[in-house]
Structure 1
Amino acid sequence: MDDDELPALLRRAGDAVADALGPLVDWGPSGARDGQYRSDVVADAAVRDVLEGAGVGVLSEESGTHRLDAARVVVVDPLDGSTNASRRLAWFATSLCVVDDQGPLVAHVRNLVTGRRYEARRGGGATVDGAPLRPSGCDRLDEALVGLSGLPPRHLGWAQFRALGAVALDLCAVADGTLDAFADCSVDAHGVWDYLGALLVCREAGVPVVDAHDRELVTLDHAARRTPVAAATPALLDELLAARRTFGAPPPLS
């Protein structure tokens, strides 16, 4: 499979998840581990059925790693926002990102409620349903609508905030101008599958995304956790980062 075939592969995977979840009746806990829902398991199986035989490695939140030595590895969150899905809160997605030896190459984030597709290719821009993405251009925190994950200890200076519950979609909402910024206010709660597809979407749309503690966001370590922060403009990112860095530093490495 060459690089030009990868966007279609990711679209098929996203479609497979939507098809698999459509008839699902039991959206409750899987019983296999804390925090996992039956929908996570069903979504993961659907993605793996599409990716198997495509000649790619896989890093999935739900089923771990397979062939990380492959030239291209697909980082998968089969169902980002599964708690939302279990409560019928209409904000959850499938996120996929192909990584090669230069980093993120192709990304696909599909809103499983609306069907909207955020897609990006390294050096090729980012789109939503085929239309170019346009961030808001907001450059002041006191004028910004900020998406949050986790609870900060105090007001950080925004005009308004929203806690929506699906990091991939939250970040894509910064890329399309729905939100002005996003801040993870938890401490190392997010794996690479949560944000990597949306990271490429954001960067190709001109939205800077960084880790709050200056760590590399692109990793194929399943155990790694990061704290992503994004903003429509560099000026807004600087202001939001300064506020975010006043609390919640990660523990030192042992």
Structure 2
Amino acid sequence: MPDSIRSTGTAAVTGSSSDASLLEQTVTAVGAAGSVLRERFGGAVRYRTREELMRALAANDDAALDVLRPRLAFLRPEAGWVAEEFEGGALPPGEWWVVDPAEGNVNHLHGLPEWAVTATLVRENQPVLTVVHQPLTGETCAALAGGGAHLDGRPLRVSDTTDLGLSLVATSQARPDEDAAVVRRVGSSVTAMLLDALVVRTSVPATLHLLNVAAGRIDAFWQFAGARADLLPGALLVAEAGGRISDVQGRPWTPESESLLAAAPGVHAGAVAALSR
């Protein structure tokens, strides 16, 4: 797992003052991109074919990227750029911007409110900072490795729940056209959690569930498969808010892992037990 995301939620690398300043500027850049998507938001966008759907999704991505990419490139000219939202695994050496210009894009197209703009700076495969902005609510969550996680400047902290049976938990779909074996595993995990947890939520996008874990609004989130863009921002938020990050079997998590579990410390072991059956 990246050293800056420990299962205990403690960051190994403390953000420098320059990184703190960079985080503030990243908040501004992400907010500007969010304003573009807010202006494009309204009634459901109708499509009849997969090709029409993909064009509509790409139009949102491009509109946000036209604002976001030059601003982030100005902040870190030497940083690489991860353009494919479904890519996973380790990155080459150096700094990289991992960005999702319209996280929850399909919700945006359907007139649903659960979508955001995210940007995460990864340095030597360790997430250094992340920003998640929800234009409809105006909420901005940000985290700096070693500097905590905050919602509009207020510190975030995971819940103190210790009983999975009293917990609100959530999962998400990693990507469209997922492998059949993964789909069956998702279904089995939902059944297991329906038996053990109080309430189970299933929706996209993953980032907003992870944000809610960091904010103490829900107690655990898990997902099978996934990509850097939908897991790294929320994983850093949860870790910096005192949560535990692992795979669903409790092993250290990396972007190459086949699953992710983010939970309040008091229910992490129970969630592992439920998901490992």
TM range (shorter): 0.7 to 0.9
- Compared with structure 1, are the counterparts of its residues 242 and 17 closer, same or farther at alpha carbon in structure 2 (3 Å cutoff)? same
* 2:145 counterpart of 1:122: yes
Give the corresponding residue for 1:172.
211
Give the corresponding residue for 1:195: 231
Shift of the alpha carbon at 1:98? 1.0
- For the residue of structure 2 that corresponds to 1:53, the secondary structure is helix
Q: Distance in 2 between matches of 1:12 and 1:31?
A: 33
Count of matched residue pairs: 235
Residue 133 of structure 1: how far off its partner (Å): 0.8
Identify the residue that residue 13 of structure 2 maps to in structure 1. Answer: none
In 1, the alpha carbon distance for the partners of 2:219 and 2:168 equals 5
Return the offset for 1:137. Answer: 0.8
Q: In the aligned structure 1, how far is the partner of 2:136 from the partner of 2:87?
A: 26
- The structure with the largest helix share of the pair is 2
Q: TM-score, normalised by structure 1?
A: 0.81
Q: Find out whether 1:236 has 2:272 as its counterpart.
A: no
Map 1:1-254; keep pairs closer than 5 Å. Answer: 2-24=18-40, 27=45, 31=51, 34=54, 37=57, 38-54=59-75, 55=77, 56-62=79-85, 71-101=94-124, 103-150=126-173, 151-153=186-188, 154-156=191-193, 157-184=196-223, 187-188=224-225, 190-212=226-248, 214=251, 216-218=253-255, 226-233=258-265, 235-246=266-277
Structure 2 CA distance for partners of 1:86 and 1:147, relative to 1, 3 Å: same
Structure 2 length normalisation: TM-score?
0.74
Flag the 1:115–1:61 CA change in 2: closer, same or farther, 3 A: farther
**Bigger CA drift: 96-105 or 196-205?**
96-105
* Contact kept? 1:111, 1:169, Cα under 8 Å: no
CA shift, 1:113, in A, is: 1.7
AA of the residue aligned to 2:213: V
**1:5 Cα shift?**
3.0
- Could you report, residue by residue, the CA deviation over 1:187-207 in whole angstroms, capped at 9, with x for unpaired residues? 42x111001111111111101
Cα distance change of structure 1 residues 72 and 241 upon mapping to structure 2, 3 Å threshold? same
User: In 1, Cα distance between the equivalents of 2:259 and 2:118?
Assistant: 17
Q: Percent identity?
A: 26
Distance 1:5 1:236 in 2: 35
Instruction: Report Cα offsets for 1:97-152 as digits up to 9, x if no partner.
Output: 11112611111111122111111111111110100112221122111000121453
Structure 1 residues 92 and 236, CA gap change in structure 2 (3 angstroms)? same
- Alignment partner of 2:39: what SS? coil
Residue 208 of structure 1: how far off its partner (Å): 0.9
SS of structure 1 residue aligned to 2:74 = coil
CA deviations on 1:154-189 (whole Å, 9 max, x unpaired) are 2421111122321111101011111111122xx42x
- Judge conservation of contact 1:20–1:43 (CA < 8 Å) in 2: yes
Q: Which amino acid aligns with 1:12?
A: T
**Counterpart AA for 1:230:** A
Judged with a 3 Å threshold, the aligned counterparts in structure 2 of structure 1 residues 2 and 58 are, in CA distance, closer, same or farther, namely: farther
Letter in 2 for 1:210: S
* Residue 4 of structure 2: aligned partner: none
Question: Structure 1 CA distance, aligned partners of 2:232 and 2:39?
Answer: 28
Q: Which amino acid in structure 1 is aligned with residue 109 of structure 2?
A: S
**Structure 2: how far apart are the matches of 1:226 and 1:36?**
30
Alpha carbon RMSD of aligned pairs, Å? 2.9
Q: Distance in 2 between matches of 1:44 and 1:158?
A: 39
1:8-35 deviations in Å (ceiling 9; x for gaps): 2321321122222233279567948859
Which gives a bigger RCO, structure 1 or 2 (Cα 8 Å, sep 6+)? 2
Structure 1: stretches of 5+ with no match in the other structure: 219-223, 247-254
Q: Distance in 2 between matches of 1:194 and 1:35?
A: 21
Q: Distance in 2 between matches of 1:141 and 1:64?
A: 32
**Residues 192 and 225, structure 1, Cα contact 8 Å, conserved in 2:** no
> 2-side partners of 1:94 and 1:5: how far apart?
20
